[in-house]
Amino acid sequence: MATTEQRPASKPAEELITGLIRVGQEPAGSGFRVRVLAAEAREGEPIATTFTHANGAFTVVLPRRPRAKRGAKAEALRIVIEVQDRTGRTVAKLGPVEPGALEDAVVLDADPSSSRSPIPMGPAPVEDLSKGLGPAWAEETAILARHGIRRGEQLVDADLSALADQAGIDVRRLGALRLHAEMSHAPDFDPETAEAFASIGITSREELAGRSPAPLMRAIVATLGPDVDTRRRFSRSKVYGLVGFAKGIDPEPFATPLPVKKVIEDAKVVTDAVLRVAPAVSIITVAGLLNAFNRFQAVADARALMDAAGVGDLSSLGTFRIKGRRVIQPGTYVASPKFVFAAPTFQSDLIATVLAKGGSFKHLSSAKLLDDAIHLVPNPVTDAVIIGSVVEFVEDGKLVIGSDVTSLTIITEEILYSVVNEITYEGRDRSPQPRAPMSPAQAATGNPRNDRNVYSPGSGNTGRDGGTGSPGNGGAAGFGGDSLGPAPDVTIYVQRTPEGLPDLRLGGRRGGSGQAGQHGGAGSDGARGRGASSGACYCHREPGHGGRGGNGGRGGNGGVGGPGGTGSTLKICTLPENIAPLATGRPYFIDLAGGPGGNGGSPGRGGPAGRGGSPGDDSWPWCEEEPSRVGSDGATGTDGSVGPNGARGVDGQFTLQPITLSDWNAVFNQPWIVRLEPWAGPAGSVVHVVARNLTADTAVVLGGASIAPTALDVAAGTLDFTVPAEVPGGLRTVMLRLGGVAGAVYSNTVNFRVLPVLASLSPTGGVPGTPLQLTGSGFTAGSQVRFGSRTLPATFDGATQLSLTLPDHENIVEPAGPVTVAVVNPDAQVSNSLSFALTLDVVVRVKGWRVFPDIWVGGGGLFGGPGPLRDDDDVRDVLMETNKPADAWTPHRVVLQVDPNVGIAVVPADWASSWPIDDVTFAENQAVIMETDPTGAFRHFEPGAVNVYFVDDIDDWTTHAYTYRGSETRRQTFVIYEDTPLLSDWEEAHVAAHELGHVFGLPHVCGDESDVTFGRACTQGNDKDFLMYPSTNFWTDEGNTLTAEEARIARRVARLWHGL
């Protein structure tokens, strides 16, 4: 079972044992527990334990033994090394042996076929069913007792529906009783709580274990109404806790007393310190986090990260050192084992193993060996994780979270630091640069008023003054400053912080400064004054004055400073006894405050003034001149204002989560799904589960249904299961159940996405309005059907069947031909597609018959008696030739397929000559028409066709044809058609088309008093004796059009003859 190679030299006093666990010839994975026991005290506590790494290697440090007294001989220690697999089975053993006699690397071959798992069973149902129930349940428990059910286990094993019928107890009350019996280990799980869960369909621990707490709360509120007590009975933490207890999480076997009051007092000191820095930091209430399930959930998160990195035990890892400015990049840093193996290939082997197996990462892009750690980089990732037994800040080390990292998690037993250390993030002191200043605003354009800045003499003695220059444009306000993203989130799992924590500088970044305001534009110059022109007789001139210069534009205001960045979300998970050192240690500094807002932008300067215009000229030097003057300059524009500072960033969030060592141990002993391969697939997929802490009686619970694994390797921690066909599509929860239903323990819950598969269509082709059935798997409530370019609602008949009715002709949209059909699930997953042959023409077969009597005495006719005077050609003329009735229906996609072979129908002697109408029942008509021969075949009736019987006469004095209609669902219709010379060919075809209208469901309705047919006017609004809808009195000269509604009705009914 174990191989020990003796080393020639004795080991040093530092007693480290290193080794490798193998299963077969392959290195075992992580999670094997190595226990070192003193040989003399085998049944006692181990003197050291550790877990294996991903490559099966381990390092265990033996505690130093007290030195022997001077002169005394040191007592030799003999040890036994036991290896337990992930389920707790002992799979290898070595010793007794002296540690010094061990080889550098001990190789132990594990036996995977050992004894049963010692995984603790979940809570068993209550022994006495009536325990904890009040008088309100006395009647039910008495009835159950009469049926021999007194123990909780009996009720858990019972078929609730059958028992409810048998015992006459409401099945929901019975379900509540069962749930109460199974959840007796959960605190405060009273019968009323059980009844509330039963009211939303949860009647077993397994059903409760598989639910997510948040949707569960919503369901409770939706069912029980808004007045339900969500503060106490169904508070968030309570429901979370109940789901945890339903899973069988039970800290009792690992119980560590939790000094709740002291924890809360100590925690308040810590949180107050945080609030001193940033009063607006939101604190997650510590009291709520004392809930067992929340504590477990916190540890579970750490476990998931450790599992992913292939780390089984923190204590076997070495120290992760922060020296100088250490920038943490995305990925997982696993501290090197405590002892570097003598074998130089150990670490490269570890990396090779991690790379080959991907650790537990599905995609690992790189693994690098650092001085003190392995850096695993899954792809893609923006998270960073540090795992080590100790995180030590050396000298003035500073842990800097890299700029690409959005969250950092530290999982360690201990953090060692000195006062100068800190945890911060890259670029914390950086703020966004303001935008570059704008060019000054545009100067005034265009000429001054009167367009007089160009010199031109005036026409009189007086020149006009130059125009005033235009003011410059005002400067625009600067743009607001930018903001950088929030500070990265930090989560720290630490058992001990003897000196407290280093400073955590995780406040938000300063916002960027606003842009400077734009400078104002320059004012334009004033125009030159106009000179005076001639003035010979009166030589006195007044040249114009120069115009006033334009004012400069106002400078723009500075931009608003950018908002500060959001502070970090910090979560510290630590032991209750470590909260006191946190509270009483040195006054440390946790900064989660939002970043200050950026400075406002500087103001823009006012634009420069325009210059005054020059005076007008005097054209005649000898004339007396009034003095002219230069225009005054414009004013300089006023400066803009300084922009306001940006808003302060939002303060971060702080959570102090107490966890106990017993929480840690309990979680690490629960069954645990590490991953599914694949995470999604159709029914029938084989899913490979990588898990921890399995036993031989492990079952998979997929979407609430138990499935037996198709393969199970307890030692390797893997199992396979096949996704059943009846599991609905979408995200389905997957749990593992260890043990029977009663007393089972459940794993964490992960999701598997069931993908839809379309296997067949029935029928595979048809017309619009066809009822369509889709068979496959992975369908779910809300599944829709993609039919060509449209997505149609469908009826969910089950995970393997959907049904829908195709839209009618008016809404089908698709052209005739193959149309792709696929199933679209509510989670946007689309199945494969199949082809449906869409036909737009509704084909109706029509069969004509000539009717003769079976007895005739006196000669004549086909059988020696009378029959219709029409021969086969006459019948074909009526149905198929010019003015054929098909002309009326074909444009509306009802296509008549007339059989050119006219049949012979033989009927009772008195019917052929005169078909009875009023005196004979429909049953008799059917019996005559649908008469069968000895083989059961119809003699003169063609199923699926419209049968038209041409008789000599009809026993009626008003009409020439009658349509017999069967039921809507089984339409066996036939038409009796009189052989009458009273109708023209045109009218005969008209009558035939009209009768087919009846066949297709159109009744007699009089629409308009002006309607005239067969020479008869419609006499009243609802003249039932009139022929159908007015527009279906179709023939070209009567407006051969059907309304859309008429055509829709006709096609719907006609589809029945299409075999649909």
Partner 1 sequence: MRTDIERRVLTLLRGGRALERADREAIINQLGPEGLDVLRSIARGDTEVEHEKLRLKAIAALGSDEVQPEESARVLWGLVSEAPPVAVQAVRALGRSSARPSAQLRSLVRDPRTPPPVALAAARVAAEEGGDEVVSELRALRRRLRAYVDSDDSPSLLSIDRLIAQAQSGVRPEGGPRPIA
Q: Contact residues for partner 1 (CB under 8 A)?
A: 853-858, 866, 906-911, 913-914, 916-928, 931, 933-934, 952-953, 955-966, 976, 980-982, 998, 1003-1004, 1013-1016, 1024-1027
**Shortest distance, position 890 Cβ to partner 1, whole Å:** 23
CA–chain centroid gap for 167, Å, is 43
User: Which CB atom, from 733 or from 980, has the smaller least distance to partner 1?
Assistant: 980
**Shortest distance, position 894 Cβ to partner 1, whole Å:** 19
Nearest to 399 by CA among 314, 503, 270, 497: 503
User: Which CB atom, from 820 or from 926, has the smaller least distance to partner 1?
Assistant: 926
- For the chain, how are helix, strand and coil distributed in percent, rounded to 5? 20, 25, 50
Q: What six digits make up the tokens of 232?
A: 């106490």
Burial of 326 (0-12, 13-18, 19+ CB in 10 A): middle
User: Which CB atom, from 502 or from 866, has the smaller least distance to partner 1?
Assistant: 866
User: Which CB atom, from 215 or from 858, has the smaller least distance to partner 1?
Assistant: 858
- Strands in 553-685 per DSSP E: 569-574, 590-591, 624-625, 653-658, 672-677, 680-682
**Shortest distance, position 887 Cβ to partner 1, whole Å:** 21
**Shortest distance, position 857 Cβ to partner 1, whole Å:** 6
Verify cis geometry, omega within 30 degrees of 0, for the bond prior to 678: yes
CA–chain centroid gap for 509, Å, is 33
Nearest to 651 by CA among 569, 589, 567, 590: 567
User: Which CB atom, from 168 or from 1015, has the smaller least distance to partner 1?
Assistant: 1015
Q: Are 463 and 542 in contact (CB under 8 A)?
A: yes
**Shortest distance, position 1022 Cβ to partner 1, whole Å:** 14
876 in the Ramachandran plot: left (φ > 0), alpha (ψ -120 to 50) or beta? Answer: alpha
User: Which CB atom, from 694 or from 951, has the smaller least distance to partner 1?
Assistant: 951
Q: State residue 264 phi and psi, 5-degree precision.
A: -65, -40
User: Which CB atom, from 588 or from 1034, has the smaller least distance to partner 1?
Assistant: 1034
Determine the angle formed by the axes of helices 213-224 and 236-246, rounding to 10 degrees.
120
**Shortest distance, position 221 Cβ to partner 1, whole Å:** 54
Q: What six digits make up the tokens of 620?
A: 């005649």
Distance CA 878, CA 466 (A): 103
**DSSP letter for each residue of 304-348:** HHHHHTT---GGGB-EEEEEEEEEEPSEEEEEPBSS--SSTTHHH
**Shortest distance, position 1003 Cβ to partner 1, whole Å:** 7
Count of H-run helices and E-run strands, the chain: 20, 51
Taken as a whole, the chain contains a residue count of: 1060
**Shortest distance, position 923 Cβ to partner 1, whole Å:** 4
**Shortest distance, position 925 Cβ to partner 1, whole Å:** 8
User: Which CB atom, from 414 or from 955, has the smaller least distance to partner 1?
Assistant: 955
Nearest to 848 by CA among 956, 1014, 996: 996
Distance CA 274, CA 653 (A): 10
Nearest to 189 by CA among 243, 227, 141: 243
User: Which CB atom, from 634 or from 997, has the smaller least distance to partner 1?
Assistant: 997
- Please count the other Cβ atoms lying within 10 Å of the Cβ belonging to residue 140: 20
User: Which CB atom, from 254 or from 964, has the smaller least distance to partner 1?
Assistant: 964
**Shortest distance, position 911 Cβ to partner 1, whole Å:** 8
Contacts of residue 337, defined as CB under 8 A and 6 or more positions apart, other chains included, come to 53, 57, 59, 316, 317, 318
User: Which CB atom, from 465 or from 978, has the smaller least distance to partner 1?
Assistant: 978
User: Which CB atom, from 446 or from 858, has the smaller least distance to partner 1?
Assistant: 858
**Shortest distance, position 909 Cβ to partner 1, whole Å:** 4
**Shortest distance, position 908 Cβ to partner 1, whole Å:** 4
**Ordered alpha helix ranges (H), 204-259:** 205-209, 213-224, 236-246
